[in-house]
Amino acid sequence: MRQLNKLVFWLLLACGLLFLFHYESASIGPLKVSHLWKGVLLGFLIVKVFIRGRIKSSLYNPFFLLVIMGLFSSEIVYNPLNAIFTFSTTVIIPLIGLYALDKDSVWCKKALHFLSAFFILCFIPYEVGLLTPLGEGYDIARSYGFAVQGSIGPFQTAHSASTALAGALLAVLYFLLTSAYSRTWLLLLFLLGLYLLFNTFVRTGMVMFAIGSLMMTVSFARRSQRMLFRVSLFSIVLVPLVSTWVLSNDALMARILGQRSYNSELSSFETLGSGRGGLALESAHMYLEANFIEKVLGMGITEQKQRMSDRTGKALVPHNGFLALLLHNGLVGLVLFICFLFSLWTSMRKLRDPNGAAFLFALYSAYIIMTFFQTYHILYMPVLMMISYAMLKKSDKELSLS
C-alpha cells in the first residue's frame, strides 16, 4: 500500500508538471503561465533558502552576483520588464542548487531520478498523438528539404527540449552504470531518450550528450575491470545500433553535417553552426565599438539585439553564452560566470567518489557546451547539474560522518 501511494504521488506530480510545461506559453490576463509557475517556485525557494537561513555555501555567490547585475544594467533602462523577468527565471538555478544542498543524498537521488525520467517520458503523449505541442520544433523542411518536424514535447523551444534530454540521458547513464535502479527500466528509459534526442534534430543536445557520455564511460572503464566489462558490453550493443540508425536517416545526417538545401555550413566561417560564425564576428565588432561603461557592465539584451538588427537586419542574440555575457553584462559579468565555473570545478575535484566525480564532470562539460552554443541559463539542464552536485556532495559528507 505504501509503494502504491508513492507511485500515485509521483504520477500526480508528473501530470502536474506536464500541465504546466504544456501551457507555459498560454496567458492568464497579462501574465503567461510560465511567469506564474516560475514565480511560485521562486517564492518557495526564497522562503526555504534565505528566510530560514540554513544554507552556508559560497559556491553560488558569483552566480548570484551575475544575476543581480541584470537588475542594475542598461537593460533595466531599455526594457525593465525583461530585466525583471530574466532575473526571476535565472536566479532559480542557483537557488535550487542551495535548496538541494540542504537535503540529504537520498532526496537528491530521488529528485534527480524523477526529473530525468520526466524530461524523457513527457514526450510520449506528443509522440503518440495524444497531445499537440504548443511550441515549434526544428523545421527540417524549410532548410534541408525533408518533410519532417523535430520533436519538442511540452517544451516551448527546440533547444530547451534538446538540452533537457541531454542532461537527463547523462543522469540515466550514470544510474545505469552504477545499478542504482532497475536496469531494465533504466535501459528502456535510456533508449527512448536517445531516440528523442536525435529526433529533436538539435545538434547542441547531441554534442552535449556525446562528449559527456564519452568522458563518463572512459573514466568509469579505467577504474575497474567490472566497470570496463560493463561499459564495453554496453558499447558493443549500443554503438552499432545507433550508428546504423543515424547513418540511414538522411534528414538527420544532413542536419548533423550542416548540408542545407542551398549550401553547406562548411562553406565559410560565417555560415558555421547555423550562422553562429557570422554572429560571433558581429558580436566581437559590437563589443569593440561599445563605450567604456558598456564594455565593463554591458549594454543589455534589448540594446544588443537592436544593434545586431542594425548590422545584419535581424535582431538576434549571439547564440554563444560567453559572447552574450560579454555584451549583455560586460566584462564583469563574464568574469563572474567564469569564477562560478572555476569554483564548481575545484569543488568537484574534492569529491571522494570517483564514479560520482566522473558523472559530475560529464554534466559540467555538457553545461559548458550548452553555454558555448546557446546560453548559460536554459533552466532544465543546469538544474539537473545542481541537484547532482548536491547529491554527491551530501553523499561525501554522510560517508565521512559514518
For residue range 53-91, list pLDDT tens digits in order.
656 678 899 999 999 988 877 888 888 888 888 898 899
d(CA 86, CA 224): 45
298: in domain: no
User: CA angle at residue 12 from 386 to 186, to 5 degrees?
Assistant: 55
Decide if pLDDT at 112 tops 80: yes
Decide if pLDDT at 195 tops 60: yes
Q: How many domains does the chain have?
A: 1
Output DSSP code: residue 31.
E
Decide if pLDDT at 288 tops 90: yes
348: in domain: no
Q: What is the CA radius of gyration of the chain?
A: 21
Q: What's the domain range around 134?
A: 103-267+379-402
Give residue 242's pLDDT: 76
Decide if pLDDT at 402 tops 70: no
110: in domain: yes
pTM: predicted TM-score of the whole model, two decimal places: 0.93
175: in domain: yes
Nearest to 215 by CA among 109, 360, 344: 360
The arithmetic mean of pLDDT across residues 336-357, rounded, is 93
387: in domain: yes
Q: pLDDT band at 369, cuts 50/70/90?
A: very high
DSSP H or E run through 28: strand 27-28
Q: Which of 27-31, 265-269, 336-340 has the highest mean pLDDT?
A: 336-340
Q: pLDDT band at 128, cuts 50/70/90?
A: very high
142: in domain: yes
114: in domain: yes
97: in domain: no
Q: pLDDT band at 188, cuts 50/70/90?
A: very high
Decide if pLDDT at 243 tops 80: no
The arithmetic mean of pLDDT across residues 301-314, rounded, is 90
